Amino acid sequence: MQIELHGVTRRFRSRNVETTALNGLSLEIPSGQLTTVIGPSGCGKTTMLAIMGLLEAPDEGEVRFDGAPVSRLGRRRRLVLRRERVSFVFQSLNLIEEISVLENVALPARYMSLPARECRARAEQALEEMGLGFRAQHFPFQLSGGQRQRVAIARALAMRSDLILADEPTGNLDRDSSAGVLEALLACRARGTTVVLVTHDPDIAELGDFVVEMQGGHVVNGRAGELSERRPAPSGRWVEAIAT
């Protein structure tokens, strides 16, 4: 899935204060690639992910999926589109501790009204791909931090979404666990899934096909990362920053 943001502005208002999280941001995320996003805290990275994933609508501007405008769709249509095409991997994970790893991975697919047998088969396959098949009947509290993150990625895989949005998935992990999570996201990319990874770690950021730098609600730089340098980049424009 190709994602385009055109002139996106998002403001948050309290009683006496208005904060601009995104200010006329324009960005194109190429289909089937790993794009990493880096920038200081408060620069708008998480807000941008929320808008990409249709969790929020921009105050100004437009979001497009594969060229089709989606940000102004009705609430129900955005919900259906998000459920069918987008998966999230957050630092908080949102795993349910009282049910098994397998049940956690299968749960979102059940909301798509898929047969229980297919939900289970998808979950089992996703866990095997993440190297966690042997943990299927364990509970999340029995796993390491890196394993829990891979369960969250397996949950996204089981949904077979076109887009995975990952917000600081390695933020609380050691180097070895972080490497396992990155390997899992690269496996998603190898299947043709578009992956957007937000990070504070410049070493991790450089591992993408493309690196987007943000500051003050803008894209200030976009460049090829290490993965892109190992092979030809896809044709066409991939990032456009508008400075205001």
Angstrom distance (rounded) from CA 142 to CA 125: 21
Per-chain mean pLDDT for the chain: 86
User: Within 13 A of 194's CA, how many CA atoms are on the CB side?
Assistant: 16
Contact (CB, 8 A) for 187 and 132: no
Helix H or strand E segment including 62: strand 60-65
**Looking at the predicted structure, is the pLDDT value of residue 231 above 80?**
no
Residue tagged 């991975």 (tokens): 105
Residues 6+ apart with CB under 8 A from 100: 136, 137, 138, 139
Confidence band of 234 (pLDDT split at 50, 70, 90): very low
Which of 71, 73, 68 is closest to 57 using CA atoms? 71
Taking only the tens place, the pLDDT of each residue in 36-78 is 999 998 899 999 999 999 999 999 999 999 999 998 899 899 9
Question: Contact at 8 Å (CB) between 20 and 11?
Answer: yes
Contacts of 173 (CB under 8 A, 6+ apart): 145, 146, 149, 181
Residue pair 63/70 in contact by the 8 Å Cβ criterion: yes
Assess whether pLDDT exceeds 60 at residue 135.
Answer: yes
Q: Would you call 124 helix, strand, or coil by DSSP?
A: helix
> Cβ of 155: how many Cβ atoms within 10 Å?
27
Task: Supply the pLDDT for residue 230.
Answer: 56
pLDDT of residue 232: 40
Q: Which of 162-166, 210-214, 237-241 has the lowest mean pLDDT?
A: 237-241
Q: Give, to the nearest 10 degrees, the angle between helix 116-129 and helix 101-110.
A: 130
Which has the minimum average pLDDT: 73-87, 129-143, 173-187?
Answer: 173-187
- pLDDT of 236 > 70? The answer is no
User: pLDDT of 107-120, one tens digit each?
Assistant: 888 877 788 899 99
**Sequence-separated (6 or more) residues with CB below 8 Å from residue 68:** none
Bridge partners, residue 166, by sequence: 89, 197
Q: What is the predicted pLDDT for the residue at 161?
A: 86
Q: What's the pTM value of the predicted model, to 2 decimals?
A: 0.84
3 state SS of 175: helix
For the segment 91-101, what is each residue's pLDDT rounded down to a tens digit? 777 899 999 99
Specify the DSSP element, H or E, that contains 211. strand 210-215
* SS3 category, 35: strand
What is the model's pLDDT at position 242? 22
Which CATH architecture does the domain made up of 32-46+84-229 adopt? Answer: 3-Layer(aba) Sandwich (3.40)
| Residue pLDDT, tens place only, 182-211 | 888 888 888 889 999 999 889 889 888 999
Token digits of residue 244: 């205001």
